[in-house]
Amino acid sequence: MGNDAQRSSTATRTPAAVPGQKSKKARKHAKSRSATAGEVASVSFSEALRAREGFVLAECDPGSTPAFAGKKADGQEALEERAGEIGEFQERLYAEAKMDGQRSLLLVVQGMDTSGKGGIMRHVVGHMDPQGVHYTAFKAPTPEERSHPFLWRIRNALPHPGQIGVFDRSHYEDVLIVRVHDLVPRETWWRRYSEINRFEATVAESGTTIVKVMLHLSADEQKSRLMRRLERPDKQWKYNPGDVDERLLWPQYQEAYQTVLEKTSTDAAPWYVVPADRKWYARLAVQSLVLEHLEAMDPQWPAVDYDVEAEKQRLAKT
């Protein structure tokens, strides 16, 4: 949590196809990645990383690479190899909405400080067309936001049809920071789990596919990353002395995340736990999760309401 430690920040219709049940096109992409960028496991990232009933965060190795058997260079190659695909899917989703399509996708990214949220934004979201992305980084609530229920500003930030929405932190801060720092009574934050589930179910039912990612970092790796910030003058501005105070609450945060995964990983809006000690893997995993869900959505170019051949003839005469 770090720099935002004292901040209280404040999504279902199931996709027509299930991520992980690959189409012919998707299997072709997987085969290509395997041949050129290391071995891709037979299980999809969505299947390998989903937090299902009985999931125990403490048993998840932050240094592991589920669904990918290659090394760092292979992962970086795979990341670049599929970067353009998100742009194509995004354009199809945007075009679909121009002809009354109502679908969108929301990527929610949560994690402890230094878990790699910024890298995800640069290396995954950065390959998307900015015109089709609705990005929101949730910081300390404004006085107006504090005067409303905690989900008010989340509703206002949801993607419109045809967009890919991105939440850098989210409404889950209100059951993480708020809980760890005892900012509201226990009955208040405990009630929020069911409120969040109802909210996300409604959002998904309206046509938004929700992809919730928890970047799972180890305490040792966080310590190393914070130390590198202190040792590099060009990174010292990113360091906050409060980061050390937050590290002292590591067990409480892990307990809070475990409860979030247990209470709010639903069929409508499942959680995906991404091991984040290897930055290259976390970026590849998040990119793959987004692509698998877009493949399942399979947005289509809309049919036009004019005679194409007639328009060709008209244009040729001009």
Question: What HEC string does the chain produce?
Answer: CHHHCCCCCCCCCCCCCCCCCCCHHHHHHHHHHHHHCCCECCCCHHHHHECCCCCCHHHCCCCCCCCECCCHHHHHHHHHHCHHHHHHHHHHHHHHHHCCCCCEEEEEEEECCCCCHHHHHHHCHHHCCHHHEEEEECCCCCHHHHCCCCCHHHHHCCCCCCCEEEEECCHHHHHCHHHHCCCCCHHHHHHHHHHHHHHHHHHHHCCEEEEEEEEECCHHHHHHHHHHHHHCCCCHHHCCCHHHHHHCCHHHHHHHHHHHHHHHCCCCCCEEEEECCCHHHHHHHHHHHHHHHHHHHCCCCCCCCCCHHHHHHHHHCC
CA 138/CA 274 separation, integer angstroms = 21
What is the CA 178 to chain-centroid distance, rounded? 21
Mean local confidence (pLDDT), 45-58: 97
Domain residue ranges in the chain: 2-298
4, 100, 154, 183, 195 from 180: Cα distances, Å: 13, 44, 21, 8, 19
Mean local confidence (pLDDT), 45-52: 97
Task: Please give the single-letter amino acid code of residue 55.
Answer: F
pLDDT in tens, 55-107: 999 999 999 999 999 999 999 999 999 998 998 999 999 999 988 899 999 99
Give 2's pLDDT tier (boundaries 50, 70, 90). Answer: very low
267-285 per-residue burial string, b: 16 or more CB within 10 A, e: under 16: ebbbbbbbbbbbbbbbbbb
pTM of the model: 0.86
Mean local confidence (pLDDT), 100-127: 95
Burial of 236 (C-beta count, 10 Å sphere; 0-12/13-18/19+): exposed
Helix axis angle, 186-205 to 250-264, nearest 10°: 40
Q: What is the pLDDT of residue 20?
A: 53
* CATH architecture designation of domain 2-298: 3-Layer(aba) Sandwich (3.40)
Mean local confidence (pLDDT), 34-52: 73
Q: What is the pLDDT of residue 9?
A: 36
Residues 6+ apart with CB under 8 A from 34: 40
Nearest C-alpha neighbor of 109 from the set 236, 286, 252: 286
CA 127/CA 80 separation, integer angstroms = 10
27: which 2 tokens?
């299997």
User: What's the chain's average pLDDT?
Assistant: 88
